[in-house]
A and B are shown apart, each in its own frame.
Chain A
Amino acid sequence: MTNEQIQSRLIEKFGEALTNFEESYGMLSFHAPKELNLKVLQFLYDDETLQFRFLTDITAVHYPDQVGAELAVVYHLQNLTTRTRLRFKIFTSVASPQVFTATRLYASANWMERETYDFFGIDFVGHPNLIRILNVDEMDYFPLRKEFPLEDQTRVDKDDDMFGR
């Protein structure tokens, strides 16, 4: 099963909804609208030719400059029969980060989504137990968002014209 076949099968089903198909380092990648994330996952799971039935990873990325689509949720899937990997992303705004949960389809999504919520504040709608997992419960911010600084920005001892720290 080649990436072109996967792409044409997906376009056959979802038409114009899926965009930005590209192949980087051999892995097919595309963007999906955020309302369709479960439909795409379910279709990839059920379809006889595709059979992407192993959820490798869920994570998120914060792009503060993309107004209205600041947060990307990234799904990595694998077809274990043909050993094909695939990645797709959905974008959501940071103001209303509601995304449907994949826990009904994949038991492994439970903690992956909790981790994503913990670090990015993605609100997985329908998740059975969406609480912080690695950080302390009292935390009131989402540390992997870009606005959360890595080190004290007021430090002067590391200010250097040459290396821009």
Chain B
Amino acid sequence: MSNPHISLPQGSLEKQTTTLNLGPTHPATHGVFQNILEMDGERVVSAVPTVGYIHRAFEKIAERRPYYQIAPLTDRLNYCSSPINNMGWHLTTERLLGLQLPKRVEYLRVIIMELARISDHIICNGVVGVDTGAFTGFLYIMEFRELAYEIYEEVCGSRLTTNIGRVGGFERNFSNAAFEKIERFLKEFPKALKEFETLLVRNRIFIERTQGVGAITAERALNYGFTGPNLRAAGVDYDVRVAHPYSSYGDFKFDIPVGTTGDCYDRFLVRGEEMWQSLSIIRQALDKIQDLPADVYHADVPAYYLPDKSDVYTKMEALIYHFKIVMGETDILPGELYNAVEGANGELGFYVISDGGRSPYRLHFRRPCFIYYQAYPELIHGAMLADAVVCMSSLNLIAGELDA
């Protein structure tokens, strides 16, 4: 008996299809994703994604929290690059308050954000390799994600859910060890990345497995709300860092890599080239901060930035500000703002409405992978099951961000 809701790919035999549950805890889905696939032999006839397995109601929780306590919630969106989410939230709050930051703070933020972009792309490209049968590359460059995490650790004390930075700057200055580790990263990572690319980019098996798989045209990608490397792989040069510069990204010279076909191979190449561009941005940022006073790591905004602990015990104003900030009694002016940053997998937007109280009246996260994941059934229609797995990992879906 044929199902009227299923349109079989051309040339397939009219027969009963098999239902296959891919996920939610299947190791090949790299996260909590469930897809109910209708299979005709090895080919995917239709897919119904089910999402929401790790929904944690961040938007509702945020309506009760002071602004600075929302930063830890953003950690748990895209947890492969939480510094970008943290910075995105701080930048949103600062724009809402109209704060101007010193150049050195903005450049330090750029360094951390680009490190986060690299560590996110390491995982995504590594996992694409794993799903096509090349485990070595993944393990090999994973060492450098560890190094990036050590740099976060030097700066803020934590590794995965970083809660890095504060409204107005950083919680402390970068230590010498942090700069040494960044230098080490810049020195050693290019070599490993080059080897990783040599392993895969011209590899016959890898090309056969990824070229033409999960392809999407630029028009469809735009219609589906793609952003980030996935959109650029389809040939649209939209990058929030260039289109709506934030945190002094306008001061840097870098290229936006674009693909042509929007398939898994192009997505892989675009991410690879973005890592090279990020390395160049970090180098430029390190050069730029050489000329700036080394003791500046936050803006002079006592009403929003926590004072030094020794001042809290000895100075009256510092004590008052400390008390007001910690108790969440600093009111934010009323306003309505949509602010976006270029997350590692797309445009991460924060739509915040402040009614003048201690916490936002409404906060909405525009999560890039929630929006582009709905194209997944179209991308894998008629593909082999193994290609569906590669396609999913090359989209860089992060369950925490998708489900918010």
Q: Which residues of A contact B (CB under 8 A)?
A: 24-25, 27, 29, 53-57, 59, 61-62, 74, 76, 80, 83, 85, 87, 106-108, 110-112, 115, 119, 132-136, 143-144, 148, 150-151, 163
Once the chains bind, are B223 and A106 in contact (CB under 8 Å)? yes
Q: Is the CB of A144 within 8 A of B59?
A: yes
Question: Are A134 and B222 interface neighbours, CB within 8 A?
Answer: no
Q: Report whether A133 and B338 are in contact in the complex, using a CB–CB cutoff of 8 Å.
A: no
A108 touches B371 (CB 8 A): yes
B52–A144 CB distance below 8 A: no
> Assuming A134-B51, A163-B329, what are 19 further A-B pairs, CB within 8 angstroms?
A24-B336, A25-B335, A25-B337, A53-B222, A54-B225, A56-B340, A57-B338, A76-B338, A76-B349, A80-B236, A87-B338, A106-B225, A107-B223, A107-B224, A108-B225, A111-B370, A112-B371, A136-B52, A143-B57
Decide yes or no whether B154 CB sits under 8 A from chain A: no
A108→B369 CA distance, assembly (Å): 11
Contact call B338/A27, Cβ cutoff below 8 A: yes
A53 to chain B, nearest CB (A): 7
A99 to B92, CA, bound (A): 30
Q: Which of A59, A119, A148 has the most CB of B within 10 A?
A: A59
- Interface secondary structure of B, over-half rule: mixed
Residue of B nearest to A115 (CB): B370
Contacts of A133 in B (CB 8 A): 51-52
B301 lies within 8 A of chain A by Cβ: no
Is B366 at the interface (CB under 8 A from chain A)? Answer: yes
Which residues of the partner chain A approach B63 to less than 8 Å between Cβ atoms? 150
User: Top 6 A-B pairs ranked by shortest CB distance?
Assistant: A108-B225, A134-B52, A134-B55, A83-B243, A59-B364, A57-B366
Contact B374 A56 (CB under 8 A): no
A135 touches B55 (CB 8 A): yes
User: Given A135-B55, A144-B59, A151 and B224 touching (CB < 8 A)?
Assistant: no
Q: Which of B55, B60, B238, B340 contacts A150 (CB 8 A)?
A: B60
Q: Does B95 sit at the interface, judged by CB under 8 A?
A: yes
Residues from chain B with Cβ under 8 Å of A143 in the complex: 57, 60
* Complex: A115 Cα to B59 Cα, angstroms: 12
Q: Which residue of A lies closest to B374 (CB)?
A: A111
Q: Return the CB mask of B331-343 against A: 1 if under 8 Å, else 0.
A: 0000111111000
B residues lining the A interface (CB < 8 Å) = 51-52, 55, 57, 59-61, 63-64, 95-96, 220, 222-225, 236, 238, 243-244, 327, 329, 335-340, 347, 349, 351, 353, 361-362, 364, 366, 370-375, 403-404
Question: A24 contacts B337, CB within 8 Å?
Answer: yes
Shortest distance between the CB of A90 and any CB in chain B (Å): 15
Q: Which residues does chain A contribute within 8 Å of B95, judged by CB atoms?
A: 25
Beyond A25-B95, A61-B362, A163-B327, whether A108 also contacts B223 by CB under 8 A is yes
User: A119 CA to B363 CA in the complex, in Å?
Assistant: 13
Query: In whole angstroms, what is the CA distance A88 to B349 when docked?
Result: 16
State the Cβ distance, A155 to closest chain B Cβ, in Å: 13
A83 to B: closest C-beta gap in Å: 4
- Cα A132 to Cα B225 with chains together (Å): 20
Contact present for A74 and B351 (CB under 8 Å) = yes
- In the complex, what residue of chain B is closest to A76 when comparing beta carbons? B338
Q: Are B336 and A57 in contact (CB under 8 A)?
A: no
A57 and B375: CB pair below 8 A? Answer: no
B59 to chain A: which residues have CB within 8 Å?
119, 144
CB of B349 within 8 A of CB of A57, answer: yes
Residues of A within 8 A of B347 (CB): 56
Closest to B366 in A: A57
Q: Are B370 and A85 in contact (CB under 8 A)?
A: no
Residues of B within 8 A of A85 (CB): 244, 338
Min distance, Cβ A66 to any Cβ of chain B, angstroms: 13
Q: How far is the CB of B144 from chain A (nearest CB, A)?
A: 33
Please name all residues of chain A whose beta carbon is closer than 8 Å to the beta carbon of B366 when the two chains form the complex. 56-57, 76
Most buried by A among B51, B61, B327, B404: B51
Q: B244, A83: Cβ atoms under 8 Å?
A: yes
Question: Which residue of chain A is the closest to B57 with respect to CB atoms?
Answer: A143
21 contacts between A and B (CB under 8 A): A25-B96, A25-B336, A55-B225, A56-B340, A59-B364, A61-B361, A76-B349, A76-B366, A87-B338, A106-B223, A107-B224, A107-B375, A112-B225, A133-B51, A134-B51, A134-B55, A144-B59, A150-B60, A150-B64, A163-B327, A163-B329
> Which of B60, B236, B338, B373 lies in contact with A144, CB distance below 8 A?
B60
Name the residue in A133, A134, A136, A151 with the highest tally of chain B Cβ atoms < 10 Å from its Cβ: A134
Please measure, in the bound complex, the distance between the C-alpha atom of A54 and the C-alpha atom of B335, giving whole angstroms.
24
